[in-house]
Amino acid sequence: MNRTSSTARAVSLGVSTKCSSLMSWLKRKEVPLKKETAAKISFVEGKDNLGIFAKNLKINGTSENYSASGKDVTPTPQGSVEYLKNLVEDTNWRKVLLVEFQKEYMDKIVKFLIMEKEKGVKIYPPQHQIFNAFNLTPLQQIRVVLIGQDPYHGENQAHGLCFSVCKGVRLPPSLINIYKELKTDIPNFKVPAHGCLESWAHQGVFMLNTTLTVEAHRPNSHNHIGWQKFTDEVIRIISRECKGIVFLLWGGFAHKKEYIIDKKKHIIIKTAHPSPLSARMFLGCKCFSRTNEALMKLGQPVVDWGAF
């Protein structure tokens, strides 16, 4: 065997060994690989994949930004796009959000979340629930848009829907006031034993926080990373693509989003925020019955606010 063929064989064996080592590592870490998605990131549904994403980022099916320790790995913009797409289950939402996902500021958001994760910072909601509002309420099914600010920052509270908390978690003060208003506004409303509002999402109530993530126990900690630019565009998309939507704006922060909404197509209802700081002005506003009246005016089915 000549020197050239010997060298080629050695290189081939070296590549094979590296591939085998990588496959063994992925199997130990239980990271599934799909043949038809070699150009995409491996994604495990229902798990926190930021670490996996950083370790197993595949770009265009050719190169791999890989680190066994999960450190010093930064996604390229294309990798960030795939990561974001994997978090959004609804195909219509994916389609209309793709242009935004490809922008530089969204890449910076993903990099920020990964770096925080690598530093051991706890982020809420869990990664697979960051886009829960989009996954539970498809674009074409939206009837009402409810706008919040940032997620709850306590453990097991936030799950991707504004004002809603996971079952089994103590009700936050704002949600207590929401239930108080429902009890006086909606006939026969019975206060549920939990604070999970997913039933509203399934009825077409799009519950959007303008900032989609937060650091544990640090309210407003992610307001600076770019989420509000993204969610402003989401509101514009809904205003443009949908017809006859009721926008329910609670508090001064949500009121500022009014300028994004096409008032010729949609109805806006503005009230005080349900926070204890402004509860006196929120209680008695009858925003839920007013929302249903507006929906009927727009030819839309009403929301059963008491269906849990």
Cβ neighbours for 254, distance < 8 A, ≥ 6 positions apart: 147, 148, 149, 270, 273
The SS3 of residue 28 is helix
**Rounded CA Rg of the chain:** 23
Distance CA(74)–CA(50), nearest Å, equals 11
Which listed residue (90, 107, 150, 185) is catalytic? Answer: 150
150 is catalytic: yes
Is residue 145 within 8 A of residue 247, CB to CB? The reply is yes
- Distance in angstroms (rounded) separating the CA atoms of residues 167 and 196: 6
Helix (H) or strand (E) holding 123: strand 123-124
Q: Which residues contact 303 (CB under 8 A, 6 or more apart)?
A: 143, 144, 200, 203, 204, 205, 288, 291, 292, 295
Question: How many CB atoms are located within 10 Å of the residue 267 CB?
Answer: 19
Q: Any idea which residues carry the catalytic annotation? A: 150
